[in-house]
Amino acid sequence: MPTGFERRSSTHLGVRRDVYVRGEGPGVLVMHEVPGITPTVAEAGRRIADAGFTVWMPDLFGEVDRPFSLPYSFAQLGRACVAKEFHCLARDHASPITEWLRALGRELQESRGQEGAAIGAVGMCLTGGFALALMVDPWVRAPVLSQPSLPFPVSPAHARALHVSPEDLVTIRRRATEEGVPVLGMRFSHDAMCPRARFERLRAELGDGFEAIEIDSGPGNPHGLPPIAHSVISHDFRDVEGHPTRAAFDRMIAFFREQLGR
């Protein structure tokens, strides 16, 4: 179990999963990346909780607390691609697992004990776009997309796609442009898994309702980031004053405070 978390179980739509909980304050649903809840993902969750939020982090795949490695990551990515819960190439609908996550988000919102309480949601990599899909629910008021990688950018059309249905995109666009519910996105500039075209599409759809953080990972960048840098708030995060990943993380915390009233 990740250090500093409590484990509980949550059952929705007939599926039971472990959920790791830490902190007090407004709720934030933290959806881990491939390959699972690694020590660096757990540390990101701890940082969010220690900034004044109640973090719920569901175990979606992988082995909890197993360190990141490329072979482990590729193995879990392969499993996700064939699992019925994930539709890794879908351009016109979200993965089925988002229905379970929406139910968990509602449970988190109700657990806060305040009528109309809002929650935040952050997804990473494979789950990055799930925070956008969860935005169809009115209690999600602080969605964060960290390197959203679905659908996999196997074609120009896939690179621009947002992994939500056209109907849900209408709701998302209305909330962002008319209801004052912004979306925060983060990526490294040369990340092939989260292409620039996807953020351009988000800007086109959401206008000023989309705030983008794009960290320079190109040749000769001032912080020596490799072009394969991918995980903004976990594996590639550096807790160093002035580092762009630290600045991105700090902006995410400020975003949660602005939207959730902490």
Residue with tokens 């482990």: 72
Q: For residue range 23-63, what is the model confidence (pLDDT) as tens digits?
A: 999 999 999 999 999 999 999 999 999 999 999 999 999 99
**What's the whole-model pTM score?**
0.96
Alpha helices in 51-96 (DSSP H): 70-82
Q: How high does pLDDT run on average in the chain?
A: 95
Residue identified by tokens 């020596």 is 224
- What structural domains and CATH numbers belong to the chain? 6-260 (3.40.50.1820)
pLDDT higher than threshold 90 for residue 100: yes
- CA quadruple 63, 27, 245, 90: dihedral positive or negative? positive
Angle between helices 39-50 and 244-260 (to 10 degrees): 50
Burial of 218: CB neighbours in 10 Å, binned 0-12, 13-18, 19+: exposed
- C-alpha 183/C-alpha 206 separation (Å) is 8
pLDDT at 114 over 90: no
Position 225 confidence tier, pLDDT thresholds 50, 70, 90 = very high
Q: Tell me if residue 144 falls in helix, strand or coil.
A: strand
pLDDT bin (cut points 50, 70, 90) of residue 80 is confident
> What region, left, alpha or beta, does residue 32 occupy, with left being phi > 0 and alpha being psi -120 to 50 degrees?
beta
pLDDT of 115 over the 70 cut: no
Task: Copy the structure tokens of residue 179.
Answer: 């209801």
